[in-house]
Structure formats: structure tokens, C-alpha cells
Amino acid sequence: MNERGHDNSYRAAFHAANEELNELYREVEMLRMRKDRVEKVLDALKPLLDLPAQNLSKELASESVQHNAEYAAAPAQAAPAPSTPRNEAANSGDPFQKRIDSILGLAVA
């Protein structure tokens, strides 16, 4: 493969990695917003629960530790492979895409 072909492959991989990173940033921001909402709800419910803030935070911490222990004890499951256009094309049985992949050295087993 010539130098130009390598450059295109690296550029495509770079763009795919950037898109994945951007998606992760969006998910993290959504989780932060969700955390803020949950904290606001907890603050609003504190008077109704009639618990001091220290006891509430201790309960939440112990529940978190318990949940983490349960999660760690659960058998690990393999995450499904992300669906990409290349994976979908390779699995579709398209002979032209298979030929292109084999020429580019991207044959999928």
C-alpha cells in the first residue's frame, strides 16, 4: 500500500476515535446533569425524611459500597461489539465489500 493509502487509513481511524471520544464526553456531561438533579431531589427530601444530613450521606455511602460489592461479585459479561458500518457491511455478505476489505488488509474473520 502506498503512503497515501496509509495516510487515509490513519485519518479515518483518527476521526472514528475522535467521534467516540466526543460521544463519551456527551455521556459524561449527561451523567453529571443527572447527578445534580438527584442531589437536588435529595436536598428537597431531607426535611421529609427527618434525617440529619450526616445520617443520610452515611446511608447513601453504605448503599453505594453494597451496590459496588454486588456489581463486583456479579459475573462479568462481555460488552457487545459496537456496530459500525464496516462491521455491518462485513456481516451483510456483500462480495464487493469483502473484496475491498481483503485488498485493504481489513478482512474480518
- Give the global pTM: 0.39
At a CB cut-off of 8 Å and minimum separation 6, what does 56 contact?
A: 42, 46, 49
Q: Which of 4-8, 21-25, 53-57 has the lowest mean pLDDT?
A: 53-57
Q: Residue 109: its pLDDT value, please?
A: 45
Per-residue pLDDT tens for 30-78? 999 999 999 999 888 888 876 555 565 666 677 766 666 666 665 555 5
Q: DSSP letter string over the chain?
A: --HHHHHHHHHHHHHHHHHHHHHHHHHHHHHHHHHHHHHHHHHHHHHHHT--HHHHHHHHHHHHHHHHHHHHHSPP-PPPPPP-HHHHHHHTT-HHHHHHHHHHT----
Q: Residue 19: its pLDDT value, please?
A: 96
